[in-house]
Amino acid sequence: MDSVDDVLRLTADYAAEFHRTIDDRPVRATASFEELREALGGPLPEESSEDVQVVAELIAAAEPGVVGTQTGRYFGFVIGSALPASMAADWLATSWDQNGFSVVTSPVAAAVEDVAAGWLVELLGLPENVSSGFVTGGQGANTTALAAARQHVLAAAGWDVAREGLNGAPRIRVLAGAERHVTIDRSLRLLGLGTTSLEIVPADGQGRMRADALRAALEAGKGPTIVSAQAGNVNTGAFDPLGEIAEACERADAWLHVDGAFGLWAAASPRYRHLVEGSERADSWATDAHKWLNVPYDSGLVFCRHPDAQAEAMAVAASYLQRGGGRSPSDWVPESSRRARGFAVWAALRVLGRSGVADLVDRCCEHARSFADLLGAKPEVEILNEVVLNQVLVRFGGGDETTREVVRRVQEDGTCWLGATHWQGQAAMRISVSSFRTTADDVERSVGAILAAAATVSG
């Protein structure tokens, strides 16, 4: 058997080399799923192998399938890079192999989460004394928050859903904007509320829920009510009018959830904080550290104004599950044994500090603005959204086919990577600037590649 030392050194050396050469690699993966399956496949080995050999083989087989999300020229979905200290802290979580279940399974995993949660509450401008949970991502955060909401609004109607379930429970109304993120719907499916519990509130041309329509819908019905608002639309980056929405929810005694998977980070920037004004009045919040905080996957965050509701929905107890004194991480999430996610978040916050997070948000937004300015200056290019944050929607030659073909050619070229979407009836190229690594030079190179691709399509 090779020593632990050898295999860890091999991995660290390779990772350092990967990062040193990242700028010279194509941003897209260069192998197909089938090729990768072939390279990684074969029969289940009968015999054991040496650690070093296995890891070396994994590197060789996997590398062509690695997507360049660690570069500054990856603009797909809303995917940030991983800050080096955060990545290293995550390796430590693995090296220590801590189970972040409770204070007993890992006092340090529990403590580091507790500290990081306190910093996050401050940074994101949330009320003191909110409860928090470190989950897999925005999906997990939305589901956890909506589970707490379900618990709370039904308790107010005299129904303990944790004990009695949903059979025979009062019906819950869930109001959400027409341009909500699709994970809200999955959360409703998982929580037994179903998507027919949704009352869809019309959105405007930027995807913002219309507050007047929400007010009317709230007045038109009664009973336990949850409103799911959004800070940062996944296509346009637009924010629902959170102040007006909070006001309407307070009047209707409705639970307000804010899905701020990336947009909530605007709260950390004095320049962009105005966009989330009113979010501090919500009952629950979902966001991601693996998006804009540039923490490695996976890392989502949920916060709740009503700790009792969150704990009633999530916590478990059994005679063998010793807990220890202090905040028990698993009381606030749907998992029992779990990754110790606090280390990576703690390291990101420590290395950036308050000003570094603000700077990260500001820089990404400036780069998004540059994309819009440089591309929008061309007569054949249209910018479809108001660029209020880090998202840009671009359309080429006024046509769906042309736009999709430009995206395809940019993806194939490999200078940068970005995706396609459909925005309110029109195909669009979708640019999301979410990496701490993106520089003005990355933007210029990418704009050059995009315009070159567009020229080959129209020419």
Ligand X SMILES: Cc1ncc(COP(=O)(O)O)c(C=O)c1O
Contacts with ligand X by CB under 6 A lie at 78, 137-139, 181, 183, 230, 232, 234, 259, 261-262, 288, 300
Instruction: Say how far apart CA 428 and CA 371 lie, in whole Å.
Output: 14
- 385: helix, coil or strand? coil
Indicate the SS3 state at residue 453. Answer: helix
Report the nearest approach of ligand X to the CB of residue 110 (Å). Answer: 23
Looking at the Cβ atoms of 137 and 224, the one nearer to ligand X is: 137
In angstroms, give the least distance from the CB of 142 to ligand X. 6
Closer by beta carbon to ligand X, 211 or else 234: 234
Q: For the CB of residue 105, give the shortest distance to ligand X in the complex, in Å.
A: 25
Neighbouring C-alpha atoms within 13 Å toward the C-beta of 419: 13
Phi then psi for residue 198, to 5 deg, are -75, 130
Minimal distance, residue 219 CB to ligand X, in Å: 27
Distance of CA 439 to the CA centre of its chain: 22
* Closest approach of ligand X to the CB of residue 62, in Å: 22
Nearer to ligand X, 252 or 258 (CB): 258
Residue number, 136 or 415, with CB nearest to ligand X: 136
Query: Which residue's entry shows tokens 């478990």?
Result: 316
Q: How far is the CB of 16 from ligand X (least distance, A)?
A: 28
Residue nearest to ligand X (CB): 138
DSSP H or E segment with residue 343: helix 342-376
Question: Within 157-292, where are the H helices?
Answer: 161-164, 182-190, 211-220, 242-252
Reading the block at residue 127, the tokens are 């009320």
Structure tokens, 73? 């020229």
The nearer residue to ligand X, 68 or 137, going by C-beta atoms, is 137
Residue 137 vs 329, nearer CB to ligand X: 137
**Would you give the DSSP letter of residue 361?**
H
DSSP string for 132-152: EEEESSHHHHHHHHHHHHHHH
**Least Cβ distance, residue 437 to ligand X (angstroms):** 19
Nearer to ligand X, 159 or 423 (CB): 423
Q: Rounded CA gap, 119 and 125, in Å?
A: 10
Based on CB atoms, which residue is closest to ligand X, 210 or 415? Answer: 210
Nearest distance from C-beta of residue 237 to ligand X, angstroms: 9
Tokens of 386: 């108001």
CA 335 vs CA 135, 205, 290: distances in Å: 8, 38, 18
* CA–CA separation, 271 and 299 (whole Å): 25
Q: Which is nearer to ligand X, 159 or 262 (CB)?
A: 262
CB of 298 to ligand X, least distance (A): 7
CA-based nearest residue to 417, from 76, 78, 23: 76
**Which lies closer to ligand X via its Cβ, residue 240 or residue 405?**
240
Q: How far apart are CA 114 and CA 321, in angstroms?
A: 20
Name residue, tokens 């399938």: 65
Other C-beta atoms within 10 Å of 114: how many? 17
Residue 158: how many other CB atoms lie within 10 Å: 7
Are 345 and 154 contacting, i.e. CB atoms less than 8 angstroms apart?
no
Q: Quick one: 183 or 438, whose CB is closer to ligand X?
A: 183
Least distance to ligand X, CB of residue 130, Å: 19
Q: How far is the CB of 183 from ligand X (least distance, A)?
A: 4
